[in-house]
Chain A
């Protein structure tokens, strides 16, 4: 089944403790991106990647890092999480031509206390 897999689904952590949210897609997509969704603010893009070793900032990149060493994986790293990073996070991927839109993962609900 074609899908984007995020892990973990839920995570509660403490301020300052480094964490990684993994994202993997099995569709050989070139594009991958991370979004956060907050009430009243909608979906906002954090980082995106157009191919292996190519990443760029989205609208809200502060406090996050990403890497794209392999085509299928695009982990989101929070080096020193803070409470304002409590949010629902989504990973998405798409073909280069975007003809089938973007496929989203099921989401990771992160709480930073």
Chain B
């Protein structure tokens, strides 16, 4: 069966450290992998997209890697700040059935001052 798993429900880190979130998937053929941030009661906000032929993408303090052999993406936030505290969602834009965006369950990140 198809699965998208984010490694943990919650991640607590100290301000200034690098947060690393993991997204693993099985039985998908993703064209793109996307990362979103979601605050409580709000809609997800797009952060980064990485294509299947790309290994790494950066945007300011954010970095995403994509390994289609391991079927895994890593999402890094460097020099983390309390304002980075939120739930982070990975999503596959895949070819399995038309053009659907399927989400993982999310990882709740808490950055402590």
Contact = CB atoms under 8 A, between A and B. Distances in A.
A82 interface: no
Contacts of B49: 98-101
Interface of B: 32, 34, 36, 41-49, 89, 93, 98-106
Contacts of B47: 101
Contacts of A33: 100-101
B38 to A, nearest CB: 9
Given A42-B105, A42-B106, A98-B93, A104 B44 contact: yes
> Interface on chain B toward A: helix, strand, loop, or mixed SS?
strand
Closest 6 CB pairs of A and B: A101-B46, A104-B43, A43-B103, A42-B105, A104-B44, A101-B34
Interface of A: 4, 31, 33, 35, 42-45, 48, 50, 56, 58-59, 88, 90, 92, 98-107, 109
A42 B5 CA distance: 11
Given A43-B89, A98-B93, A107 B100 contact: no
> Interface on chain A toward B: helix, strand, loop, or mixed SS?
strand
A28 to B, nearest CB: 17
The interface centre, meaning the residue of B43, B46, B102, B106 with most chain A CB atoms within 10 A of its CB, is: B43
B101 A104 contact: no
B36 A101 contact: yes
A101 B46 CA distance: 6
A84 to B, nearest CB: 20
